[in-house]
Amino acid sequence: MTKKLSNQQNPISPDGKLTAKITKDNYKQYVFEKSPKSAHAKNMFWAFVIGGLICVIGQIFIEIYSLLGFSNADSSGLASATLVVITAILTGFGVFDQIGRFAGAGSTIPITGFANAVVAPALEFKAEGLIYGLGAKMFVVAGPVVVNGVFVSVIIALLTLLIGG
């Protein structure tokens, strides 16, 4: 059974013959059929376990900072910051990529994914210089996150003011 990505026909028949002109859309269908069927259940399981564990580590840091006398809000912020630091170092050693390979969304959805998105391109593009390499590429993925986040949050705050919520 071949799954459909779009309503496009695969331009290449199973015996490797070209049956239609390759376009941008039907090529996607070809790649979709060719790519190994990712084991959905396995992916989901590891995303759940690793994502859950990262949050537990975050909770451990929250408890530690609370015990040290920080307020609840500060403890939460410090715990996130601690995970960012750990991720930065693991990314430097190339370990984070290996975790991410089987954790999938389990390591990208938590703050670790944001940190990795900042550090990895900075490291990779430092050869192009500190300004247009490291400095610019650092926010190639994190930039859209911050831009969209700030935009949406300001709009929501203004709407809340307007409605008087």
From residue 101, give the alpha-carbon distance in Å to each of 55, 74, 86, 104.
Answer: 18, 32, 18, 6
Part of the chain binding other proteins (CB under 8 A), chosen from 6-14, 16-24, 137-145: 137-145
Part of the chain binding other proteins (CB under 8 A), chosen from 7-15, 16-24, 83-91: 83-91
**Dihedral sign for Cα atoms in the order 84, 88, 91, 95:** negative
Closer to other proteins by CB, 11 or 126: give it: 126
Question: How near is the Cβ of 15 to other proteins at its closest, in Å?
Answer: 26
Distance of CA 94 to the CA centre of its chain: 16
Among 70, 77, 102, 136, binds other proteins (CB under 8 A): 77
Among 52, 64, 65, 70, binds other proteins (CB under 8 A): 52
Query: Does 68 help bind other proteins (rule: CB under 8 A)?
Result: no
Q: What are the φ and ψ backbone dihedral angles of 12, each rounded to 5 degrees? A: -120, 120
Query: Does 142 help bind other proteins (rule: CB under 8 A)?
Result: yes
Query: Does 108 help bind other proteins (rule: CB under 8 A)?
Result: yes
* Cβ–Cβ under 8 Å, residues 32 and 3: yes
CA triplet 90, 77, 141: central angle to 5 degrees? 50
